[in-house]
Structure 1
């Protein structure tokens, strides 16, 4: 059986360089095309990983052969014997979860960043040798790549059943790796701390086990032989990327649960820690939704060009809906805490002008061009398929529960998607999840999905909350952001001369000609300093103020007519006077994934 054999070596940690050697048998005289992915599944933008390639060289039969570039991510060569060796060096200094990183304390990579493949041989078995860094003796390896012959530190031989399986198995290595182990449904799990920390690991294990069980209960099946949360501990980075048996996280050190006990003797669960648990919940839900319930456009893509599709709401939006829902079902946040999160999401969406320009379907399709390349006008042009997709998923779930009298929920739809597509490895065609929802519920959902996916109209999620004993209120907000956003129309940074980062459409600031990157100096001759909102609140609605600002190095003045109201804010509260049936329906929604 033909194989692709890779040797990965952290060849120069100080210079941030990996060396990767590919060896394989070939037919003498055949021209071999070699390719490196241009993007990584789960992050929908062209990243051009080949830009970090420092060198490429090939030999066959002991003779060097010429490697000719075809385009920015493909090369070709013609071996003269039945064996080909290709050696590449890569610069690795990307600290994100998507690429490759190496210094003298740790290393990390996705194979999409380092592993060339001969095109047409993606289904060949891939054998990998992970070498330790030269001159460093205390590193160990963390990966879900199946081990074949490794030493006590994890260096040695691994194997993946195909190239596609290989690139779904990230690798971490370093001198500060700690496993926080727990089990879910008999499957070994671990939160792998990559870096120094002072976390309460016992609390971490217990909370993550509860989160993972809550998400596994949605599908009632856990299709992994193991699962690792590979957590890169950082000062303030935050984010994640899903894989088939792992996820890679960037975790702020301060977000980890503290060992310092609260007054009642329990470990403190901070807001930042709850946010981290939400990230873990999100990436874990992807174990089913995205990694196995896969969009057809992604499944059929060769990673050389974009995979356009209009259903990212069904993958990222639905997952974003279930991430916080998983926390309340796991008992880690209260029902009111969950409603507060829904209200915060709704407020954020309502304050984003881009929702009036871009539908959810457009947001999905345009992800390759707009979502991952934000600029100062992004809030005016784009709506997130994560946030608004989650809100649509909420509306769909509530509609299903209300109109089927509790017989069908979005949980049922996701289990059906798993049974039909995920378990059978049948990629989901475009609009597939909406079709499954209609089939499972027996409802005609065409108008609902067309109205709220293909247009800019918001799904009427709040209209159904009363059925579950929840009051929904919308009024001008009292927070500083609401005042700045509604009465002035900007977002700024901190500092003595706050710099404008965004100017929102159809606001007093935009009308007056204030621009992104302007530095605000004074209002009516009084220095702004760090009290911009406080100054604005001293003026009545409709007041005209003179705003002095620096644009580049030029001092300008703009006259702004202040708005009449702060930006809106949602509040959701449990109605304690609702009847017992409403309370029971809410409990089935928020506490029991199997009883709709």
Structure 2
């Protein structure tokens, strides 16, 4: 902390003010100076343990160091700054003078969830840097981002309201309260920046890490179509709830993900997936990137405003449970790719390919028969966000299963509707927004709107699809809407009940429940070295052995034999496991059968 702490710049009305500086780029350290204008005599402070939208306790306080306090020119002794638990502190001070705290935060997580700082780029979420001041949660909060010679070529981008900033964006921003402060991440660096207007709303897109081949104009044009389609989806010709919006994309060699915020989103993608100048062929991963953009933008309504009643007031010091992630993440996952189709960015065939992938992901997850979508939502804190080799056997993704639940409701409503204007899930979403006034929602609200739009109770479907573990009626519903469902042999790994990695030999990552590999005794972590097919007519006598370097070679060596010994290395021991090849498992392939029949579903509403 400086001997004489700098005063907040500008005439900030904030009762709580954070000054963020670069302490050391190469040590990945931010320096924060927190000023509380009117502290309590026993002032408590805490750093969040999680960030809304990412349901895992991440213990951000592990990166906080060197906390000290001052009033005026007097440094408070260490005995007056007491740590209470893993993430909270208490300071004994005079309540009639501003309290100033200084500390550093280590920032070396190049993700969308925490904070990162190096010589190329800075990024942070307020939940990683900004201590919450007890008693001042609803007071205005100021955030001052300070320039420095070491970052003279950098700029700042954030969704916060600017109070007094320079052309590069450095200066003071104002949040209405702590929730808004930590819901507006900050991007810093020499990033690419572009802008567009969608339905009268200004949007900005900044990209860090792009190469010289990056086609920013193409990205802006496609994102604009996504944004306009979604604004019209929710509001028709009316204005959306956000006055501006910011996309922050970090392009890296290997990475993918996003995190939604009230008027911004932080994204990460592989830079090879960005559109390229002078190339008419788009990278295969660009559709995935556009789907991510669509997903996070849809969250502007579905989870940031319309959200579970349990999230009415976030508790930042512990898990916040809800059984509704199948709706807020799953239904968003249904609409993200559907919006791409309706915006004209992909055709029917490309959309069905994306839907096909989701269906097969769920069908190839044994955990779908063990856990409901509602329970998977509740267990996100300990299962979905703490995945291991048994995850596919123990749980189902509320993203993918929720997307298929949305599909089933949508197609069921369309099937049962007798009017010229069919009932749709689109209308359910509209009416939910109006019923809940873009705020807190319960499952009962969803059930009530379904009944209102569909003309009957959908309690049996909710009980079966959301709270049950039975298979969804996907085949019948798709066929009723012009999509043929073909059964095809699955890949060998799925037939055996395995998920493997083949970078250096065949490494067993997951053994799926009830499969041939599990019956043979395979275990996650095994290295499958070779195979010894039994000689014809001699069940227990191997014919000859073969080295296995990729899984597909198994059928080359097995020939017509269905039984063999698998040579496996486990804990430096060599094991011979008796493996029986099962009949080929089936996977689905969706084929457009009647283009006219899918128009009401896949085309934008009139």
TM-score range, shorter chain: over 0.9
The SS at the match of 2:84 is: strand
Q: Which residue of 1 aligns with 2:82?
A: 68
* Aligned with residue 125 of structure 1, among 133, 136, 140: 140
Q: What is the Cα-based RMSD across aligned positions, in Å?
A: 1.7
Q: Which residue of 2 aligns with 1:506?
A: 514
Is 1:570 the equivalent of 2:583? no
Q: Which residue of 2 aligns with 1:494?
A: 502
Residues 64-73 or 240-249, more deviating: 64-73
Rounded Cα–Cα distance in structure 1 between residues aligned with 2:249 and 2:14:
35
Matches of residues 183-194 of structure 1 in structure 2 within 5 Å? 183-194=197-208
Is 1:536 the equivalent of 2:550? no
Is 1:273 the equivalent of 2:286? yes
Rounded Cα–Cα distance in structure 2 between residues aligned with 1:593 and 1:270:
29
* Aligned with residue 50 of structure 1, among 43, 57, 61: 61
Task: Measure how far apart 1:440 and its partner are.
Answer: 2.7
In 2, are the aligned partners of 1:500 and 1:517 still within 8 Å (CA)? yes
Q: 1:24 to 1:182 in 2, by over 3 A?
A: same
Task: Measure how far apart 1:303 and its partner are.
Answer: 1.4
Rounded Cα–Cα distance in structure 2 between residues aligned with 1:196 and 1:508:
45
Gaps of 5+ in 2: 1-12, 533-543
Matches of residues 426-445 of structure 1 in structure 2 within 5 Å? 426-445=439-458
* Aligned with residue 415 of structure 1, among 401, 426, 430: 430
* Aligned with residue 93 of structure 2, among 79, 83, 90: 79
In 2, are the aligned partners of 1:21 and 1:85 still within 8 Å (CA)? yes
> After superposition, what is the alpha-carbon deviation per residue over 1:127-156, rounded to whole angstroms, capped at 9, x for unaligned?
111012453311111111111111111111
Q: 1:210 to 1:86 in 2, by over 3 A?
A: same
In 1, are the aligned partners of 2:329 and 2:399 still within 8 Å (CA)? yes
* Aligned with residue 320 of structure 2, among 307, 311, 324: 307
Matches of residues 556-567 of structure 1 in structure 2 within 5 Å? 556-565=575-584, 567=585
Task: Measure how far apart 1:384 and its partner are.
Answer: 0.3
The SS at the match of 1:229 is: strand
Rounded Cα–Cα distance in structure 2 between residues aligned with 1:77 and 1:33:
6
Q: Which residue of 1 aligns with 2:152?
A: 137
Rounded Cα–Cα distance in structure 2 between residues aligned with 1:248 and 1:527:
48
Is 1:483 the equivalent of 2:492? yes
Residues 321-330 or 126-135, more deviating: 126-135
Q: Which residue of 2 aligns with 1:373?
A: 386
Rounded Cα–Cα distance in structure 2 between residues aligned with 1:326 and 1:70:
48
In 1, are the aligned partners of 2:55 and 2:381 still within 8 Å (CA)? yes
* Aligned with residue 356 of structure 1, among 369, 378, 386: 369
Q: Which residue of 1 aligns with 2:536?
A: none
TM-score normalised by L of structure 1: 0.93
Rounded Cα–Cα distance in structure 2 between residues aligned with 1:11 and 1:459:
54
Q: Which residue of 2 aligns with 1:103?
A: 118
- Count of residues in Structure 1 that have an aligned counterpart in Structure 2: 573
Rounded Cα–Cα distance in structure 1 between residues aligned with 2:170 and 2:60:
25
Q: 1:448 to 1:374 in 2, by over 3 A?
A: same
In 2, are the aligned partners of 1:59 and 1:86 still within 8 Å (CA)? yes
In 1, are the aligned partners of 2:294 and 2:336 still within 8 Å (CA)? yes
TM-score normalised by L of structure 2: 0.91
The SS at the match of 1:522 is: strand
In 2, are the aligned partners of 1:351 and 1:568 still within 8 Å (CA)? no
The SS at the match of 2:352 is: helix
In 1, are the aligned partners of 2:14 and 2:174 still within 8 Å (CA)? no
Q: Which residue of 1 aligns with 2:219?
A: 204
